Each structure stands twice: as structure tokens, then as C-alpha cells.
Structure 1
């Protein structure tokens, strides 16, 4: 009898937001583990989580020829209708070396694609790591654009306190990307009536956590700190998932009662409800001295363009009213 928790190729494609054919290509390349049940290919949730974890270990500074990027680095969203793609490149060349945008939201995949095809943009690589590690990578000069959605419980402020702490001595610019709603993933109908952060300490509730450094993990930990709750006292706290999709899927399949994540993903995973808790600010951080780089100027122009905004007009879970605004300089 086939394992009811087995994932099909379509399930994996839905979780990773890629085409089903790309899943088969990943198998051929040996980039994702799978097994067969008769003639059918199946996956475990652990296979998907391992693939995501390995993809996050790509070194942003590695030299990767444009035509030889792995499937992990290729933007997974559809190419947008950007007029400049039909025009010849400007004579102004991008600076030598890689230009890396760091973060996990699909908006960044689309953004990197736009930058790559902008008249004065150029190749834009992607690094799929969480907010905390993204800022430290910017501090060490491994990337050029970090993304962050880190909430500080003492000030109630997003990102600015962390930029000041994690980029000491570096003048930085924070550029708004979107507002998103964070909350709980729970089973359909919310059978255990999980509605507040304090509910997580109940003995009848098991959670699945995000990895250390992820914005959702920081949000959880800050609220637990303010409530005087130790994470070690919560069932499932030490079990980590590498993405919103795998966390939501685990709840949907009965592997946990609750997880913290974004509303957008909740709309894409069957079998769960979303309990909204807090609106978060998802923002980009660059060094101020890099603001004159052609790719960063191209990025600002793209973020403020109607064409880019239209990509996300019909997608639930994004508030793009402030997109492209410079919200702080440190």
C-alpha cells in the first residue's frame, strides 16, 4: 500500500513553485531524491526539505557562467513583459563580478529576472537564505542586495534595528518591497482553536518551526521572549523546516498542529487555514556606497515601474502600495 504522505511530482512542483517538467529535470540532474512505486515517481517531504536546504548553501560569491546556472539559481517565475527586453543593451557595462540578490520570496526571482534584462542591468544571481544570514552576507560583502523581515519586539519596528546591529559601521539604505501578513498555519477548521502566541505552550499542541535566522522564526522568538516562554518548553520547537511551503504542507498532512508563515503560501496549500496575527514589512537593504551601481539603479527603476507592480496586482498576500520607497538610511 502506497504511503499516504508520499508526494507526487505535481505536489513537489506546487511546493517549489516550478513546472512539473522541471521536477523531472531535477531528478535527472541528481539534485533531488526520489523513489519509485511501480512506475510512479514519489518523494518524501524530507526529500523536498533537503533539496531546499542544499539550494540555500550556494555560495553567493561563486563564479557561475550565465548559461550554466543550476535550476536553483534560475528565476522560477514567468518572464515579465518588460519592454527593454526587446531593445539592445546599453553600452554601459555592469561592474565586474557577480551581482547577488539574497532572499526567499518569489518576488525576488521576478526582480532578478527584470534586472538581468534591463538596459543598464546585467546578470543577477540569487541566494536563497533567510533574513538574518542575508544581512550578515551583506556585511561581509558576499552579496549586494539583502532582504529582511525582522521584527524587533522592544521597538515594534521592522528591519531598522537589525540593520544597525548587523551592519556596524556600514551606511545602509532600506528600500520597501511589500507588506505581508504573518500568522499561523493550522489544520482546516482549526480543530485545536489555536489563535494566540500563548497557545503554543499548550501541551496538546505540536508545532513545526522555521530555521534560525528566518524572519518567521525571529517573529516567533521575539513574541515568546515578550511572553516569558522558553522555546524548549514547546512541543516541536526544535524541529525545523526550510520554507513556508514545507511548514504549511507538514501541517496540512497532520505532521504538526501549527506553524508560523505568510498568508500568501496559505492560499496555495490545501488542507490548512490561516490565522492572521501581524502585518510585516519585507524590505531590501543595500550599502549606501553601492547606490550608484547600474544594477541597483535599475532595480530602483524596476520597483517603481507599473510593469513590475502589475506582476503582483492579482496575487493575494502582497501589499505593494509602498514598493520602491526608501524608508530609512542608517
Structure 2
């Protein structure tokens, strides 16, 4: 194998014992996570391991749909940020078999409500209160006593072409007729941030070129902007640093939290998870990576 973060299509085809065309088909259907460096498709070793494990278990996500309730089939941690991949790896090292489900914030909370996952993650902005996550937990988990624990803060903003040739600096620019965007899928935190702000300024998504082009990855939307196929996309600052050919316009500091049912608070898996994110080793790892604010990591935000 090459380094674990730069596997090629040919490498992955060899690992999975399938054709290169099958790999491209899996990328298109969102079965397999990938990213682009210029025009080249690349994969991380963790992406491939997650795909293999998900295929074996059959209880994770395929095309944004939860296949089966988890019940006694495993402990499932839901969300799309790499911080959750590393967290699940820490848990496995401690003997806790944590599985991963890769769906957006809104669907993550719905899955928690339906007992299809054990821990959901969210970065959902509420424009009425200018707060993150808590209003959505109350609405999407009605009657469910829950605990919200802070994981990190990230910066959300606009991915634009190098030099920002179209001078995109605010939400109002999405109302211009010379702007083409690429969007995140419904329910993603970045999509909610966009839609809430469009509502506030009175711009309809149908009037924005590219609004209906939905992608399930920050890396992919950033790569599309870098390729010149779109002028702007919404995503996190950390990803912008990984893709050549784009600049980042910071817009909003967001809170990224995890949520679990209060009835599960004493479970060994939950206690292990909390001990890990509150540990110095875990927090130091992310303070060195950059793009993550670990100041209040592990702090209980609210218990319902």
C-alpha cells in the first residue's frame, strides 16, 4: 500500500478485488468515500476499512438510508467528521467495538430517535436562537431524555476559486445570477446553515444555479470548486487546507456536538467514549491537527 491517505483507484480495486470501473460506480453511488487532488481520485486507508466493515455488518448506511435497527448488533457512532473515525479507533483499542454510520446531522438525530444508532453527532444552526444543536435535539427527539456533549468547534465558510475571482464574501452573493454553486445533501449541517441564511435574505434555492447538485462530502464539493465546475460551496476550514486551487472565506464558528439517550449514560460504551474525548491524549492529538477547537471537548452542554 501507499501511505494510508493517498490510495489510488487502482490500489483500491486491488484491495477489494474488483474492477476500476466498479470503484468509480461505488464512488458515484456514495458507497465508497473518496476525495480529489486536482483531477485525481484518492482514498484514505480508513475509508476502505470502514467500507469493508460496513459491508460485513450490514447495519450501517448506504445511500443515506439506515438499513436496520442496531438493537443488539453493535455500538454505532453516527456522523461524517474524521474526528469520529479516530474516536471509534480509540474505542476499538480499548476493546469497545464501535461501528461507524456516515450520515448528516439531521438524519443522524432521526436515527438516534429511532434507536438505529447509539450516538449521533450534529452541527445544526438554529436561526431563531443563533445557537447550535440543542433546539434540534428537542424537536427531533420529542419525549426522549437526552444528553448533549460538546466535541469541538469548527469554522464554516465558503470554498471559492483561488483569488476569489467572483468576490464572493456574503450570503447575499448567492442571489447573483453569475454564481454557480455545488450543494451538500439535505440534512447536512452545512446545508442547514445555507438554507437558513437563504431564508433570512429571501433567496430561493431554485433560483441558484447548481443548488440541486447534492454531494455528501466536504472534500468533494471543495474539489468541484477547485476544478472550476462551480464557483462556491459550503464547508469547513480544515478541508479547505487539504485541497489545492481554492481559498476559504470564513463565515461562522459552529459547535459540533454528540448526542445520546440519557438512559444509556451508564453504558460501558458511552462511559468509554466520554473518557476518551476527555483524555489529554485525545485532545492533544486534535489540537496538533489544526482546525479543531478542543477547549470544551467533553463538556456536557445540556441534559434533557
Would you say same fold, with TM above 0.5? yes
> Match for residue 204 of structure 2?
230
Aligned length: 274
| Contact 2:80 2:104 (C-alpha < 8 Å) held by counterparts | yes
Cα distance change on mapping 1:149 and 1:74 into 2, 3 Å: farther
Whether 1:132 aligns to 2:109 is no
Q: 1:30 to 1:242 in 2, by over 3 A?
A: farther
1:78 is matched with none
For 1:285, the equivalent position in structure 2 comes to 259
- Kept in 2, the 8 Å contact 1:27–1:34? The answer is no
CA distance in 2, matches of 1:28, 1:74: 10
Pair 1:25-2:12 in alignment: yes
Contact 2:32 2:48 in 1 (8 A): no
Q: Is the aligned partner of 1:109 residue 2:96?
A: no
Q: Please say which structure displays the higher CA radius of gyration.
A: 1
**Residue aligning to 2:129:** 155
Partner of 2:255, secondary structure, is: strand
What is residue 279 of structure 2 aligned with on the other side?
A: 305
Normalised to the residue count of structure 1, the TM-score between the two structures is 0.77
| Contact residue 32 and residue 48 of structure 1 kept, 8 A | no
Structure 2: distance between partners of 1:190 and 1:247 = 16
CA spacing shift, 1:127–1:176, aligned 2, 3 Å: same
- Give me the whole-angstrom Cα distance separating, in 1, the residues matched to 2:300 and 2:148: 6
The whole-number CA distance in structure 1 between the counterparts of 2:28 and 2:205 is: 24
Q: Which runs of 5+ in 2 are unaligned?
A: 34-46, 54-70
Identify the residue that residue 92 of structure 1 maps to in structure 2: none
Which of these residues, 174, 179, 189, is aligned with residue 148 of structure 2? 174
Partners of 1:314 and 1:31 lie apart in 2 by 37
Distance of 1:329 and 1:200 partners within structure 2 = 37
TM-score, length-scaled by structure 2: 0.84
Q: Unaligned regions of 5+ residues in structure 1, if any?
A: 1-8, 36-42, 57-68, 76-94
Q: Does structure 1 retain, via aligned residues, the 8 Å contact 2:9–2:20? A: no
Specify the alignment match of 1:315 in structure 2: 289
Q: Tell me by how many angstroms 1:205 deviates.
A: 0.7
CA deviations on 1:28-52 (whole Å, 9 max, x unpaired) are: 52678549xxxxxxx87xx57425x
Coordinate RMSD, CA, aligned = 2.6
Partner in structure 1 of residue 60 of structure 2: none
Tell me, yes or no, if the aligned pair for 1:184 and 1:258 is still in contact at 8 Å: yes
1:1-330 superposed matches below 5 A: 18-20=5-7, 24-26=11-13, 28-29=15-16, 33-34=20-21, 49-50=27-28, 53-55=30-32, 71-73=49-51, 96-118=72-94, 121-330=95-304
The structural deviation recorded for 1:314 is: 1.6
Alpha-carbon shift at residue 315 of structure 1 (Å): 1.6
Measured in 1, the distance between the counterparts of 2:248 and 2:111 equals 32
In structure 1, the residue matched to 2:38 is: none
